[in-house]
Amino acid sequence: MTEASRQKPIGIIGAMTMEVKGLIARLEEDKTREIAGLVFHQGRLDGVDCVVAKCAPGKVNSAVCAQIMILEYSPRLVINLGVAGGVGVGIGDLVVASQCVQHDFDPTPLGDPLGCLSICRGEEEESFIQLHSDKQAAEVLLEEAKTIYGGAHLGVIATGDAFVADPAKSRWLNETFGAKAVEMEGASIAQACYMNRVPFAVLRAISDNANDESPADFPAFAKECADKSAQLLAKTIARL
């Protein structure tokens, strides 16, 4: 990393208060600004310049938050953290994204594969299904997870504007995209980051199994799992 890049903050986005509250409480010299109703907290976390925001659930909220964060704070890395539905992984497990996909983006009637995004690059357009997370950030998160919690899964995280509580859909996410977790913000933050050429990482703790038990499991485990991902990030931030 160059010296100029080290001076830029790390951006942290969570969708729910429980996902960011602990980190905001630990920020030293917290300065806040409100833009488009989103509150951005800039300060130092374990000596590292950070900007933390809650975006509220969903792809549009999270993409708007990421875009504002990028334009206003020039982060050198954006990390999305919080909880997710597990797809073949257990409640309480951690998942670090290798890639992110938008499972509900459907251009198939036009002949493109499911999840295939189109992104402008000037007059040209690029198309792809998976957005790759920052390899180094993912490795550091995995290493720290091993030390603190005995490990984390590395794999595809699927994002869509739906809370998944259906075993058939959960199986489909795994068969179609190889997903290990499903949530509602990771891939939209990833897309905003990709468009701005900013590296990103996604770290999620599994609060439910995206099946018909999810409506009961989610409120029972979400807070504990949100704390788990925030604690891992707080312990890792100085290495990112």
Would you please indicate which residues are annotated as catalytic (active-site) residues? 19, 208
Q: C-alpha dihedral over 18, 156, 207, 229, to 10 degrees?
A: -40
H-helix or E-strand containing 131?
Answer: strand 131-132
Per-residue tokens: 189? 């933050």
Among 68, 87, 182, 190, binds ligand ADE (CB under 6 A): 182
Name the segment binding ligand ADE (CB under 6 A); options: 45-53, 83-91, 103-111, 140-148.
83-91
Residue 183 binds ligand ADE, judged by CB under 6 A: yes
Query: Total residues at the site for ligand ADE (CB under 6 A)?
Result: 14
Residue 188 binds ligand ADE, judged by CB under 6 A: no
Q: Mask of contacts with ligand ADE, 25-64, x by CB under 6 A?
A: ----------------------------------------
Name the segment binding ligand ADE (CB under 6 A); options: 21-29, 63-71, 119-127, 204-212.
204-212
Residue 221 binds ligand ADE, judged by CB under 6 A: no
Q: Judge contact between 77 and 10, C-beta under 8 A.
A: yes
Q: CA-CA distance, 92 to 95, in Å (whole number)?
A: 10
Tell me how many degrees the CA angle 186-93-155 measures, rounded to the nearest 5. Answer: 50
Residue 84 binds ligand ADE, judged by CB under 6 A: yes
Q: CA-CA distance, 176 to 158, in Å (whole number)?
A: 10
Compute CA 196 distance to the chain's CA centroid, rounded to the nearest angstrom: 16
Q: CA-CA distance, 8 to 25, in Å (whole number)?
A: 21
Residue 158 binds ligand ADE, judged by CB under 6 A: no
> Minimum distance from CB of 143 to ligand ADE (Å)?
25
Closest to ligand ADE by CB, 84 vs 94, is 84
Q: CA-CA distance, 10 to 73, in Å (whole number)?
A: 9
Closest to ligand ADE by CB, 200 vs 218, is 218
> Minimum distance from CB of 151 to ligand ADE (Å)?
20
> Minimum distance from CB of 153 to ligand ADE (Å)?
15
DSSP structure string for 147-198: HHHS--EEEEEEE-SS----HHHHHHHHHHH-EEEEESSHHHHHHHHHHTT-
Name the segment binding ligand ADE (CB under 6 A); options: 3-11, 68-76, 93-101, 205-213.
205-213
Interacting residues toward ligand ADE by CB under 6 A: 83-85, 163-165, 182-184, 207-208, 210, 214, 218
